[in-house]
Amino acid sequence: MFPGLLHMKNFLIAFTLTAALLLLAFSAPASARLTQLTPEAVNDAGSIERPGPKSKRAALLRTQVLLDRAHFSPGEIDASPGSNLKKAIAAFQKSNELNPSGTIDKQTWMVLNQDSAPVLIEYTIAAADVAGPFTEIPADLMEKSRLPALGFTSPAEALGEKFHASPKPLQQLNPRKNLGREGEAIVVPNVEATAPLPKGAKLIVNKNESTITLLDASGKTLAHYPASVGSKHDPLPLGNWKVLGVARNPSFHYDPKLFWDADPNAKSTKLPPGPNNPVGVVWIDLSKPHYGIHGTPEPSTIGKTQSHGCIRLTNWDAAALAQAVFSGMPAILQE
């Protein structure tokens, strides 16, 4: 066999093994996935030359970061499979004219990895990251209303939100590291977008898929996000609405008359702003009264739990979307 053909054969074998590994990673139950998560494993997960069993969770982490950077959000980066990741993959595939299976295949992996920037980078914890104040958030609304702000509860939570990640895999990437120490060098997901998100032309909120899609004037997908979009008690108000405006770092005016599950003795109150505010760090107001698109203090629940009728995103996705909307933008809420 000619040397060139032998090299090509080895290349194809390695590529096929990597694709098979990826399919296994996305379908394997949690008990079958390895818990090891290291920068080396994540870097190797992008290589077709060194596939191996240690790449399973690393391949998931790599995929989540690359999708996040491409504006196809998997929600909270947690190095685990799930419905949000599957929806993000399918939307990315459809946008790139691939079979929208929701599962990583060889062709999807090749297109996704055209983004060759490092997936993990070193970050030195800054004074602002650990300055706080960090305060436990009480469950009682009246106690919350007396706080000066509804900020982060710990440096790990603040860093997780900064890098779009669950604090658990962030700590796994940095064993024996103190996430609350200024000057500590840690490894974090490199979530800086490959290109700025441009202004969109239209928003589509899909009830059945629990997603938001930002489109340009030609109908091309610019961004795609998992969302929580109502419940049987507070169904999504289907119809053609418009964006009225954006409020950043908003306070939350709690009116028990607007909540079906409110305590009969509850009183109206105003909750201070902050990332643990019920509407998170941004409110995108819609022309339907009392309805908007907003952030959340619980990013791990997005797309998996119900809402009180409004449309919830992770704080970082809501902030990104807020940069791309404008007053008067059509917002189509559909099945």
Instruction: Spell out the residues 6+ positions from residue 53 whose beta carbon is closer than 8 angstroms to its own.
Output: 21, 34
CA-CA distance, 324 to 284, in Å (whole number)?
11
> Given this model, what pLDDT does residue 260 score?
55
Residues 180 and 140 in one domain: yes
Identify whether 39 is part of a domain: yes
Same domain, 97 and 163: no
Q: Could you report the per-residue pLDDT of 297-306, keeping only the tens digit for each?
A: 999 999 876 5
* Domain boundary residue, one of 156, 189, 222: 189
Whether residue 195 lies inside any domain: the answer is no
The answer on 98 and 124 residing in a single domain is no
Q: Are residues 100 and 135 in the same domain?
A: no
| Rounded-to-integer distance, Cα 96 and Cα 112, Å | 10
Contacts made by residues 211-220, CB under 8 angstroms, sequence distance 24+ = 211/87, 211/91, 211/303, 212/293, 212/311, 212/313, 212/321, 213/91, 214/321, 214/324, 214/325, 220/95
d(CA 13, CA 181) in angstroms, rounded, equals 45
pLDDT of 57 reads 83
- What's the number of domains the chain is made of? 3
Query: What six digits make up the tokens of 78?
Result: 């947690």
Residues 171 and 224 both lie in one domain: no
Question: If you count them, how many residues does the chain have?
Answer: 335
Residue 53's pLDDT is 45
Q: β-pairing, 202-206 with 330-334?
A: parallel
- Rounded CA separation 95/98 (Å): 8
The CATH number for 240's domain is: 2.40.440.10
Could you tell me the pLDDT band of residue 3, with boundaries at 50, 70 and 90? very low
State how far the alpha carbon of 246 is from the alpha carbons of 98, 315, 320, 322, in Å.
34, 14, 12, 7
Whether residue 253 is predicted with pLDDT greater than 50 in this model: the reply is yes
Q: Say if residue 211's pLDDT is above 90.
A: yes
Residues 219-239: pLDDT tens digits? 999 999 999 997 676 789 999
pLDDT at 319 over 90: yes
Q: What is the per-residue pLDDT for 13? A: 37
Domain that holds residue 30: 3-112
Question: Which of 28-32, 120-124, 288-292 is predicted least confidently?
Answer: 28-32
Q: Residue 318 falls within a domain, yes or no?
A: yes
Q: Are residues 9 and 98 in the same domain?
A: yes
Q: What is the pLDDT of residue 259?
A: 64
- If asked whether residues 256 and 295 sit together in one domain, one would say yes
Last residue of a domain, one of 56, 77, 112: 112
By 3-state DSSP, what share of the chain in percent is helix, strand and coil, each rounded to 5?
A: 35, 20, 50
Query: Which one-letter DSSP state was computed for residue 72?
Result: B
Q: How far apart are CA 217 and CA 292, in angstroms?
A: 22
Nearest to 281, CA basis, from 150, 165, 177, 156: 150
pLDDT at 41: 79
Whether residues 81 and 125 share a domain: the answer is no
pLDDT in tens, 6-60: 343 343 434 443 444 444 444 444 433 334 677 777 877 765 434 444 567 888 9
Q: Which of 6-15, 102-111, 157-166 has the lowest mean pLDDT?
A: 6-15
This prediction's pTM = 0.85
One domain for residues 214 and 330: yes
Query: Are 144 and 57 found together in one domain?
Result: no
Final residue of a structural domain among 90, 112, 134 = 112
The answer as to whether 269 is a domain residue is yes
Is 197 inside any structural domain? Answer: no
- pLDDT over 70 percentage in the chain: 81
- Any idea which residue has 């120490």 for tokens? 181
Question: Is the domain of 7 the same as that of 105?
Answer: yes
Which tops the pLDDT comparison, 269 or 97? Answer: 97
